[in-house]
Chain A
Amino acid sequence: AQKITQTQPGMFVQEKEAVTLDCTYDTSDQSYGLFWYKQPSSGEMIFLIYQGSYDEQNATEGRYSLNFQKARKSANLVISASQLGDSAMYFCAMREGRDDYKLSFGAGTTVTVRA
């Protein structure tokens, strides 16, 4: 079974607007971590934001925030005030307690920011 599901293959957003990228996950562990990475066309994965399963507050990092809904097993990424440089592939990933080192990634969502 897929551990991470990203249902939006591609999205367009107008510059300066906000965009929400969906991510749902599947785990039976109580302790896990959720990540979002950005992968521009250059290829390297850039860490954006992290949410621990026991964190009560939603994580925020600058223009990035993570909408964590534990009961629904969702961890959506919100990018506010989109910029042209935000155009990239975005991956949701999870690290589970029993294998607290390796990341399981979703299939990704391509975001294109329009001027």
Chain B
Amino acid sequence: GENVEQHPSTLSVQEGDSAVIKCTYSDSASNYFPWYKQELGKRPQLIIDIRSNVGEKKDQRIAVTLNKTAKHFSLHITETQPEDSAVYFCAASLGYSTLTFGKGTMLLVSP
């Protein structure tokens, strides 16, 4: 089955800096790559996603890039703010709605 590796496991940045989280996947048939944000004690919520026919997608301060050849995708957050502090999960899907999640990255943005 699919295997998703996520790095780093923790990331500390200063407010205003950029943050990058990277994921790799094992199954070249995967075609959908969402990112979820989970604040402390809350549920995971989708923040951005990308399909395999697109190389990059941007939504305000958040962007995701996909390299199908290398089988990796990344989340980029620019101009980080304290409210960006959370655990971020990447995931990969082979279709039919199932997701395989990475282990998560705890992002801490210091004022």
Is A bound to B? no
Residues of A within 8 A of B (CB): none
